[in-house]
Structure 1
Amino acid sequence: MNQQRPRKDFRGRRDLPPERFIDLARMAAFDTLRDVHSSGAYANLALADQQRAHDLTPQEAGLCTELVNGTCRWEGTYDRIIEAAAGRSLDSLQPAIVDVLRLGTHQLLGMRTPTHAAVSTSVDLAGVALGERTTGVVNAIIRKVAAKDLDEWLDELTEGMGTLGALVLRTGHPRWIVDAWAAVLPADELEAALQADNVAPVPSLVVRPGLAERDELLADGGRPTPYSPFGVVREGNPSDIPAVRQRRAGVQDEGSQLVALALTRVEAEQGRWLDLCAGPGGKAALLAGLAQQDGSTLLANELHEHRAELVRKALMAYPVNQWQVVVGDATAGDWEPGSFTRVMADVPCSGLGSLRRRPESRWRRSPQEVHELHDLQAQLLDAAIEAAAPGGVVAYVTCSPHKAETSAIVTQVADDRVEVLDAPSLLPEVDGAAAHTDPRFVQLWPHRHGTDAMFLALLRRR
């Protein structure tokens, strides 16, 4: 049973009607949304903080997580519905009241919460968290939202819209992201790709080569990933697994595992490998194990010291003579040009390929941010090419399918210094890996492969 407390336990006031209560899960969800919208907090971090602060049971934490993540994913669609129900702009309402309405709308339209419960808990939440004066407007608006189900609201709001405009509301994405996906996908896959962003992934784990075998994780309740020989999918808290606590395994999306694996499958000489932008260390740890098996060593570079420390922790289970972590600007690396046989350039990007695990990010990112990253990404790829030895291989990787961050960068930078390789041929077990924009590139997708939307181009230095 959910715990219930009057508002005095949350804010110290005692002037509420004695019948006004709210359960801890909904209170924690509301506080999380306020952290996200008023303070710019990351939803996953704020959610964990609030669940601890409210001392939620596992059952309460599950409800709180669904309330927060579902509300964040569908925020744009819910806001349009709330405005239609209210007959006024959201700007005319207090931001905190809007968050109460968003939570109530998700319960009504995105969960199986009975109507009376969704309405009453929304009104109680407003009274407990914001004061009795707010309950009237919340009650009036949320009852109007409850008058229609989601399909009825969507049919009403999308009437007369074009196909792409309707997908904005029906899949819960900003229009610019819908347009960007439409530019890099076959038309008959567009809606499926957008809908896949709304399905939370099960955590993927990865064994560190030479430190653990996949059978160890499979014996602990996991199931093998479809493509990566190092991966396991497992419900639950990864830190419960001894191999993860001992850093012999880690948490890493299968797509990230695959792009690192593809780099190591290209024919190249033994020598030094470089991870150009290594933080927080997932790919570096996988590469370190594979480099050791190849008779090579790994240099991991990271711009920021706090992220470099995360890389060191990810690598610490390996012998210290097999790897080195340095802190520096990768565009002017403190190493000899042409000295690495393999270079991983997993460049900073918008992160649009991981929308399914970062529910609020689709509403925070903008086309301007993608544009601002362009020059840095091009400089980093150029630096990666310069760092590669003759015959060496460069992997250009982003966790984004946006054309401006993927094929456009490679086309701009790849000149007669390099040969563009057939990257999908290095992952023959992955069906449909070739990018729609250029079949020499790999583009993974949640709806096709169950991974983040990772991009990979492989270049060989002439």
Structure 2
Amino acid sequence: MTREDRPRRDDRAGRDDRPRRDGSGQDARRDARGRQRGEARVQGRAGRTTAAPSQRTRQGDAARGAAYDTLRAVADSDAYANLVLPPLLRERRIAGRDAAFATELAYGTLRLRGRYDAVLEQASSRPLAQVDPPVLDVLRMGAHQLLGMRVPPHAAVSETVGLARERVGAGAAQFVNAVLRRVAEQPLDVWLTRVADAADPTGDDVVARLAAVESHPAWVVRALRESLVGSGRSADELAALLEADNASPRVTLVARPGLVTPAGLAEQVDAVPAGLAPTALVLTGGDPGAVPAVRDGLAGVQDEGSQLVTLAFAAAPVEGRDERWLDLCAGPGGKAALLGALAAERGARLVANEVQPHRARLVEQALRAVPRDAVEEVRTGDGRTVGELEPDSYDRVLLDAPCTGLGALRRRPESRWRRTPADLATLGALQRALLASALAAVRPGGVVAYVTCSPHLAETQLVVLDGLRAAARAGTPAEVVDAAPVLAGVAPVWEPVPGRTDVQLWPHVHGTDAMHLTLLRRL
């Protein structure tokens, strides 16, 4: 160890000082990804000016600190990482590569928590059940830097130990140091083999092996395998699907028709066509919030799968008039904004209903650029009562039903650890009630789109089957409309699954969230 690598003592705090910082607050010895810099660059002898000693901070690494605080908020307050981290980054003025580092560290640690817990269990001198949760989060962050990010082992261990010393104490920091050094002794492929063998000693339990290696609860793995087969795909795709769930999703923009063209949006941002939805662009660089069209509501951030099911719903043929549309569960407003733009082009009016007042306000914000004559109302109300209160009132009804979100695990990394099989019963009852309301609210000859961001058969095909039976008993009979040619008209390069009249998108096949779409026509 060189003199420069030895920790210095902070006489005031009685602890090891933090890494040297440049004027921007970054570790002067490492770049934003933790890579070691040469001493010449640290001292400013490589064409850059070093910060004065008085400008250096003794605080811990800001990006790692933001990631840690996000993990603790998720654990302690049942918060969502995508709602916690961005405000933290703005508040602490963390931007650029540091913000990207913090985002990958927080989201990646949450996605791969199961894998890292299995690794840490083998590397730790004590069972993880006996490790305090804050310390365990620090260990998971260190494991992700060592096994899931391009951070050199020395930087990953030393910076994480420094974070532990600052946040959870010197004693815990020694434990973190010892465990992470053991983790760093082996590469990822060796650890994955060990984790798989520990989960499946006999080699007969594919679900247990994949659940451990690909960091999904076993019940989710079984459900996804059944969903693949039930939607006409092969169970052999399961590993690829789980791997896709663990990849960072692309940031996709929607160019709302009539408000901005895809070409016009592309002139404002580094983006390329997504490939399926004609309205979708994949961001290749930059902050989407800084794009003028996004700020003004002409465009938005929206997964391509969400765009596809919305476009297909709007393109589905109806019998008779096509003037009044309903988004039954509209919050937070992405689909409503796309529908509003389409309605404005076609002379229709949109009613957006949302049960939660704060989400209704988000819908209003999302619709701010849509022409006023295309938005009849944004209201707060229980979607289960709309069919009773307004029977036969709409030409189109979109039901984006509340669900487990198992199709959006890339974007909601904490969801896989929060959801349980028991959620299916509660959500299933709600989904059936909402579908009954939607079928009552649409007029005969009109179309209902049943949409979920979950591929689970209990939330998709079974709900539709039960909904059709209940509608027939209630005097609002309906039939399934073949969604495959409708979506093909929207996205010509999309390849339908033979024999399926519904649409199931997949991250590993289409690069989208696993959105489900069934189209129903009221008889």
Residue 297 of structure 1: how far off its partner (Å): 1.3
AA matched with 1:217: L
Aligned with residue 107 of structure 1, among 145, 167, 181: 145
1:386-425 paired onto structure 2 within 5 Å: 386-415=440-469, 416=472, 417-425=477-485
Partner of 1:326: 379
**Structure 1 pair 254–138 and aligned structure 2 pair: CA distance change class (3 A):** same
Residue 149 of structure 1: how far off its partner (Å): 1.8
Partner of 1:240: 290
Partner of 1:195: 243
Distance 2:153 2:211 in 1: 26
Pairing 1:15–2:14 present: yes
Pick which of 75-84 and 312-321 moved more: 312-321
Deviations 1:178-197 (A, max 9, x none): 11110011112111111111
Residue 38 of structure 1: how far off its partner (Å): 2.2
Aligned with residue 229 of structure 1, among 272, 278, 282: 278
AA matched with 2:494: D
Partner of 1:263: 313
Q: Is the 8 A contact 1:432 1:448 kept in 2?
A: no
- For the residue of structure 2 that corresponds to 1:228, the secondary structure is coil
1:66-77 paired onto structure 2 within 5 Å: 66-77=104-115
**Structure 1 pair 58–410 and aligned structure 2 pair: CA distance change class (3 A):** same
Identity, in percent, stands at: 48
**Structure 1 pair 378–116 and aligned structure 2 pair: CA distance change class (3 A):** same
1:366-377 paired onto structure 2 within 5 Å: 366-377=420-431
1:8-157 paired onto structure 2 within 5 Å: 14-18=13-17, 22-157=60-195
Deviations 1:402-461 (A, max 9, x none): 1111111001111340111111121122534449xx711100011111111100000000
Deviations 1:195-221 (A, max 9, x none): 111111221111222222111112223
Partner of 1:218: 266
Deviations 1:316-349 (A, max 9, x none): 2223232111211111117420121111011111
**Structure 1 pair 376–79 and aligned structure 2 pair: CA distance change class (3 A):** same
The runs of 5 or more residues in structure 2 that have no matched partner are: 1-6, 20-57, 229-233
**Structure 1 pair 38–336 and aligned structure 2 pair: CA distance change class (3 A):** closer
AA matched with 1:422: D
**Structure 1 pair 71–189 and aligned structure 2 pair: CA distance change class (3 A):** same
Pairing 1:165–2:218 present: no
Q: Is the 8 A contact 1:6 1:128 kept in 2?
A: no
Aligned with residue 350 of structure 1, among 397, 401, 404: 404
- For the residue of structure 1 that corresponds to 2:227, the secondary structure is coil
Moved over 4 A (4+): 5-8, 18-21
Aligned with residue 292 of structure 1, among 344, 361, 375: 344
- For the residue of structure 1 that corresponds to 2:413, the secondary structure is coil
AA matched with 1:74: L
Partner of 2:502: 441
**Structure 1 pair 52–315 and aligned structure 2 pair: CA distance change class (3 A):** closer
Residue 86 of structure 1: how far off its partner (Å): 1.2
Pick which of 186-195 and 46-55 moved more: 46-55
Distance 1:57 1:411 in 2: 48
Pairing 1:309–2:335 present: no
Alignment RMSD: 2.1
- For the residue of structure 1 that corresponds to 2:397, the secondary structure is strand
- For the residue of structure 1 that corresponds to 2:149, the secondary structure is coil
AA matched with 1:310: L
Q: Is the 8 A contact 2:9 2:17 kept in 1?
A: no
TM-score (norm 2): 0.82
- For the residue of structure 2 that corresponds to 1:182, the secondary structure is helix
AA matched with 2:482: D
- For the residue of structure 1 that corresponds to 2:450, the secondary structure is strand
AA matched with 1:180: A
AA matched with 1:351: G
Residue 51 of structure 1: how far off its partner (Å): 2.2
- For the residue of structure 1 that corresponds to 2:444, the secondary structure is strand
Q: Is the 8 A contact 2:504 2:515 kept in 1?
A: yes
Aligned with residue 419 of structure 2, among 341, 365, 372: 365
- For the residue of structure 2 that corresponds to 1:420, the secondary structure is strand
Partner of 2:494: 431
- For the residue of structure 2 that corresponds to 1:345, the secondary structure is strand
Distance 1:451 1:255 in 2: 5
Pairing 1:378–2:432 present: yes
How many equivalent residue pairs?
452
Residue 53 of structure 1: how far off its partner (Å): 4.0
**Structure 1 pair 194–19 and aligned structure 2 pair: CA distance change class (3 A):** closer
Deviations 1:262-285 (A, max 9, x none): 112222132211111111111111
- For the residue of structure 2 that corresponds to 1:184, the secondary structure is helix
Distance 1:251 1:61 in 2: 18
